[in-house]
Structure 1
Amino acid sequence: MSTPTGSAPSHPHDRPTRTRYWVIVFAVTLAVIQYIDRVAISQAMPDIAAEMKFTDAQKGMIFSAFTLAYALFEIPTGWMGDKLGAKSVLIRVVLWWSFFTAATGWAWNYVSMLVTRFLFGAGEAGCFPNLTKALSTWLPKVDRTRAQSLMWMGARWGGASAPLLVVLVMTLVSWRAAFVVFALLGVIWAIVFAKWYRDNPKDHPKVNAAELELLKENAANASGHGNVPWRELATRPTMWLLWGQYFFLSYGWYFFVTWLPTYLRDERGLEIKSNVVMKWLAAVLEGWFSPELTLKILAAALSGTPLLFGGFGALLAGQVSSRIIARGGSVTRVRRTFGFVGLAGAASLLMASFYIRDPLLAMIAMGMAGFFNDLTLPGSWATCMDVGGKYAGTVSGSMNMMGNFGGMAGPIVVGWVLTLTNRDWQQVFVVTSIIYSLGAFCWLFIDPVTPLEKEEGKVMN
């Protein structure tokens, strides 16, 4: 075995270095930044809409412009990572979306905002497929589900912090300047990542021979290639089911990061202080802030609940499933169980949250819907890694593409339903719960372990 560039020869009995775990740190950090940049607009939208006179339908289209681009560019950016390596693609897309995060604050009308959010989505599309590509290269299989759970925990907690972060930043600067502040986070990440990361672990000076031995099964994943078995990808039933469940999951989940702040303000705004705990918190905050800002802070904190709980769901699913599998449990059975229970639970709890009148208890129920939603995530993305192999970037990109078509449809449908029903939020919750249930059904039949290629260079028939 070759010795990593710049490192001293390792004795066969040396303990493996732990350089690989820094890739998880980079993944989690970028996931946090990506979700802060993505979710910020949902909290800022009431102020944006008031300034630019956007209708509900226009707000839905702006939310969906991002997800349309995000979906369309998933496969191209995932394929680019497979062909060119994750490093160059990640640096490019992070700098791209950071620019258009700042540009969101420069928009002057509906069309300019629509175009900016579309271009922003085109950049963010490359994030998770290429992080998945990096993890499939740098981590042994036993660590992959756990790594995905940590990455998605970071993503959700970044999204959970975004509403409150936006409100607090907007107390100091305008909503326009706030987007410039958030853009700087991605620029800093890209600079540090460019200096540290290597597409192939053997090229990193901090990796010793013992750690390379742990990663030898990933050697094919590190090489660049573009010969994706598209026919196998497009004709395998499991891929369609995997795409379907992620479409349905994302349709439901995007409610939390687009329309939820509006729902809380319009439907629940007068009720937020009716809960004893919330009333006490309001009294404390009003010692520092105005009643109007206090209400915004409480609403922002509540709107982050589904993502906060979702982070715990992703973490729990990754840790528990990894331990069960390590003890000999069936990978297929474990992933199907978490997928089905997760989406079925999200459907039930989301609907229940609408009928619970106490605002804090209602948001706990909605938070638990987010928790169950994210029980599905580690298994979904680990499936892309196991099924995709050296094509993990393309496979995960295809799944995320379908998911974001669902994410694109969700905000538009909510806008239409509100318009057609004279803002009847109950119908929004009914439709979303049904969609979640369809995703649960898909998981009963997914084969999460059989790869596109049984062995190097041989595509399955």
Structure 2
Amino acid sequence: MFFKHAKWRASGTVLALLWFCWLLSFLDRMVITVALPYIAEDFKLTSTHQGLIISTFFMGYALFQIPGGMLADRFGFRKMTSIAVGFWSLFTMLTGLIFYYPLFLGVRFFFGLGEAPLPGSSYKAIATYYPKRLRGRMTSIQSTVNTLGPAFASVLAAYFIGLFGWRHLFVFLAIPGFVVAFLFYRLVRDNPKDNPRMSAEALQELEDDEPELQTDQPKAKVLAIFKNSLVWKAGLVWFFFDLTFWGFTSWLPSYLMNARGLSLQATGFYNALPYLVGTVAMLVGGAMSDRFKNQRRFIFAVAILVAAASLALIIKVPSMELALLLQCVTALFLFLSQGIFWGIVVDILPTDQMATGSSVVNCLGSIAGVISPIVIGKLLDISGGSYATTFTYLAICLVLAGIIVPTLRTKTT
């Protein structure tokens, strides 16, 4: 692995710290999906009100996504990442200490605001510490938290809630966040040249890869980023992808408990398995993104359409075993396509535009995160708790993403 290669060992340290930052971000945001039925019981909430809890996080997340990326471009990813992790950890703790529903929503909003600078900062860090030939794979390694995070969150939340209740869970999760925020600021530098652990060979390859970044040039104009059609095309793909991703991940535990009648412990287990499959798929997708640059748009499209088909079938099969198999098939192709997608994004954007440009793309996904949980909650209330319409809605969103992605043409895709 690249972590063990002496040439990229310092870059591997940065990637490892980013990975832990992302892991905590997903743990802190995903455990609430398992806790949601218990939160609903405490606060006496309808499905629509439960969906609003998830969506309120994304309101804050979407609102500060682009400003967070711009601040990372302006002040550096090291400072913004450290501040972000510490800030959201504080509001993770407060989530377990609030007893009034409107105030609870406010805490989740500021929690989302705190997580917003991380995507742009992390993609900028990868673009700074790795050459283009490795960025797809490094991005996919970082993105494994998109699968391991929900998987670990399901098991951790089920165990912790069963023993101590849902409130103690959020207080506990805040502690490692403060530790990681300190370590990131202590060990990482914005410029690889200022990192004493960087090898001369790595620095030389980075300079040869994008020599213009080694000279003092003016920062990329924000207007130029917003005029880049690739940013908006990628953002639209990510919007439809995340309508499904956040709808699926937010409501899957409730579906398993309410529609399939599983216990809390069984829900944690069955909810985790698809994400473990997705972890492998994410790594494969990143490697494919680097290996098949000319074909990766079409590989993404095929994978996403297969995921849509299997997702639509989950609700139709009678047995839990078949439903679990289809969940795993959905996760396999869903996360394979995700690994490919972000490999494209970090490759097509100039490094000096990376934080802001990737934040625009991710912001559209965050807007999807606001919309989808509320839409699903409303569909469930209207249908009397039936999940058939919701799974059809999620599948249609994936089909739309698959249709758009072939238009994402670049010189290398």
TM-score (norm 2): 0.93
Partner AA of 1:427 in structure 2:
T
Is the aligned partner of 1:124 residue 2:115?
yes
Aligned to 1:311: 279
Aligned to 2:3: none
Asked whether the equivalents of residues 163 and 303 of structure 1 are also in contact (C-alpha less than 8 Å), the reply is: yes
Note the aligned Cα RMSD (angstroms). 2.0
* Identity percentage of aligned residues: 28
Q: CA deviation at 1:447?
A: 2.1
Once the two structures are superposed, the pairs formed by residues 18-33 of structure 1 within 5 Å of their partners are 18-33=9-24
Q: 2:240 aligns with which of 214, 226, 248?
A: 248
TM-score (norm 1): 0.84
Asked whether the equivalents of residues 140 and 215 of structure 1 are also in contact (C-alpha less than 8 Å), the reply is: yes
Asked whether the equivalents of residues 101 and 183 of structure 1 are also in contact (C-alpha less than 8 Å), the reply is: yes
Classify 1:165/1:394 alpha carbon distance in 2 versus 1 (closer, same or farther; 3 Å).
same
CA distances 1:134-158 after superposition (whole Å, capped 9, x unpaired):
0000001111000111111133102
Q: 1:298 aligns with which of 253, 260, 266?
A: 266
Is the aligned partner of 1:435 residue 2:397?
yes
Once the two structures are superposed, the pairs formed by residues 375-454 of structure 1 within 5 Å of their partners are 375-389=336-350, 390-449=352-411
Asked whether the equivalents of residues 252 and 410 of structure 1 are also in contact (C-alpha less than 8 Å), the reply is: yes
Asked whether the equivalents of residues 61 and 114 of structure 2 are also in contact (C-alpha less than 8 Å), the reply is: yes
Is the aligned partner of 1:355 residue 2:346?
no
CA distances 1:362-393 after superposition (whole Å, capped 9, x unpaired):
12211221221112223322333233211100
Q: Which of 1 and 2 has greater Rg?
A: 1
Q: CA deviation at 1:405?
A: 0.9
Asked whether the equivalents of residues 303 and 334 of structure 2 are also in contact (C-alpha less than 8 Å), the reply is: yes
Q: CA deviation at 1:123?
A: 0.9
Q: CA deviation at 1:177?
A: 1.3
Q: CA deviation at 1:100?
A: 0.6
Partner AA of 1:144 in structure 2:
R
Partner AA of 1:243 in structure 2:
G
**Aligned partners of 2:54, 2:182: CA distance in 1, in Å?**
29
Q: CA deviation at 1:406?
A: 1.1
Aligned to 2:187: 196
3-state SS of paired residue (1:355): coil
**Aligned partners of 1:267, 1:16: CA distance in 2, in Å?**
52
Partner AA of 1:306 in structure 2:
P
Moved more, 389-398 or 148-157: 148-157
Partner AA of 1:244 in structure 2:
L
3-state SS of paired residue (1:198): coil
Aligned to 1:372: 333
Q: CA deviation at 1:226?
A: 8.1
Give structure 2 stretches of 5+ with no counterpart: 1-5
Q: CA deviation at 1:334?
A: 2.8
**Aligned partners of 2:389, 2:270: CA distance in 1, in Å?**
22
**Aligned partners of 1:133, 1:237: CA distance in 2, in Å?**
20
Q: CA deviation at 1:16?
A: 3.6
Number of matched pairs = 406
Q: CA deviation at 1:19?
A: 1.5
CA distances 1:82-128 after superposition (whole Å, capped 9, x unpaired):
11110000000000110011110011121011111111011111112
Q: CA deviation at 1:229?
A: 3.4
**Aligned partners of 1:125, 1:222: CA distance in 2, in Å?**
28
Moved more, 418-427 or 81-90: 418-427
Asked whether the equivalents of residues 350 and 369 of structure 1 are also in contact (C-alpha less than 8 Å), the reply is: yes
Aligned to 1:278: none
Partner AA of 2:259 in structure 1:
E
**Aligned partners of 1:82, 1:301: CA distance in 2, in Å?**
40
CA distances 1:284-333 after superposition (whole Å, capped 9, x unpaired):
xxxxxxxxxxx2111111122332222222111112332x24xxxxx2x3
Give the structure with the larger helix fraction: 2
Aligned to 2:196: 205
Asked whether the equivalents of residues 140 and 342 of structure 2 are also in contact (C-alpha less than 8 Å), the reply is: no
